[in-house]
Amino acid sequence: MLYEKIKNKEEKISLVGLGYVGMPIAVAFAKKTKVIGFDINKEKVDLYKNGFDPTKEVGDDVIKETTVEFTSDEKKLREAKFHIVAVPTPVSDDHTPNLKPLESATKTLGRNLTRGSIVVFESTVYPGVTDDICIPILEKESGLKAGVDFKVGYSPERINPGDKVHRLETIVKVVSGMDEETLDEIAKVYELVVEAGVYKAESIKVAEAAKVIENSQRDINIAFMNELSIIFNKLNIDTKAVLEAAGTKWNFLNFTPGLVGGHCIGIDPYYLTYKAEQVGYHSQIILSGRKINDDMGKYVVENLIKNLIKADVSVKGAKVAILGFTFKENMPDTRNTRVIDIVRELEEYDIIPMIVDPEANVDEAEREYGIKFDSIKDVKDMDAVLIAVGHNEFMKLTQEDINSFYKDTGNEHKVLLDIKASLDRNEYETAGYKYWRL
């Protein structure tokens, strides 16, 4: 069995894609067996080789100690027999699935696939992608036959970037295979590292579908909270206070309003609705939730402008600071951040905001969005401050700290937007600030 050879370090595992998902998987397996970590990004691979973790998922010390053989040489994949593909599956500007990264990675692996291998895809896809797109590519590039010369499975990634509690080892792993023998092998390999155990899905399509609905469900729930926030703001009721009251019921779901970005919650629903359209069904609930969430940046800016007017501050030329740019607190990833929607919407009012983010990947933000960050020490003489991301550094700010960001004027002219509802509302309203939150 391949599992026994991997366990005894006679065969290697390869990770194709060393991002926020692939790298932690590679590191985890390296504690048990021999692992090749492959990525086409040579600069990223060099960082790993030199002991640096640009994702901050496991930390520099762990990268320095790991036995993962990091490489950008695709021919090294020929040394492995168990391959895990964990590359991004984004959406295009028109919200249709962009499978190019997955197709490219599959071609690369196919060129270097050997007989007797097992390939497991972890990238989020709609049901049918593994069978209809990935397997034909592997067969074409390798000249081998799926089910005869190599086997295929699917095991959706459930790693939560930036989360130190819910990790690969502590989350039940859904696994699937093209046949019972493959399923059993894949399950045993993952059991080497997944302490929480594995769940054997009855088919690859079931596993694909399970993954894509997990984040669709979260997206819909957050959309409901965002819609409630819009309603309660019109009724002059504090949304956080309502949710705290409702949350005392045992079966109330603990979701909060906010910007929905990242590589999963804001993207996965579009994979499901795309496939639904292909089979003749137009989604109603899922797409309605997506529209609400996609429009939240515009809604935030509309309320910022209203509060500037209430504070007798001229909108034209207003000085605004945004604290936080990443899609999630305490991590460097800026890809698919929805804070950019706020920035672009402010530009429509000829407001160029000052943006501060001590955690963000500086090069990535400039490359993806043309954004350059300022230091928090430079935030002075502002008319409005918007706390967009709950980085620890921002959560430590006192009222005195926040007050220092503004022009030397009465508090009634200071607009403060607290997207994460992290501050004491009464404290700032009592002090006279024009305070607003979702």
Quote the pLDDT of residue 390. 92
- Residue 162: alpha-carbon gap to chain centroid: 9
Active site residue 134: no
Quote the pLDDT of residue 1. 85
Quote the pLDDT of residue 169. 77
Quote the pLDDT of residue 108. 97
- Domain positions in the chain are 2-202, 295-436
Give, in words, the CATH class of 295-436.
Answer: alpha beta
Q: 2-202 and 295-436: same fold?
A: yes
* Cα separation of the two ends of the chain: 55
Of 85, 264, 313, 346, which is the active-site residue? 264
Between CA 87 and CA 216 the distance in angstroms is: 20
For the chain, list residues with pLDDT below 70.
Answer: 160-166
In 3D space, the residue among 262, 245, 233, 428 whose CA is nearest the CA of residue 329 turns out to be 262
Residue linked to tokens 């005869």: 148
pTM, to two decimals: 0.91
Quote the pLDDT of residue 345. 95
Q: Which fold has domain 2-202?
A: Rossmann fold (3.40.50)
Q: What is the identity of the amino acid at 263?
A: H
Quote the pLDDT of residue 166. 64
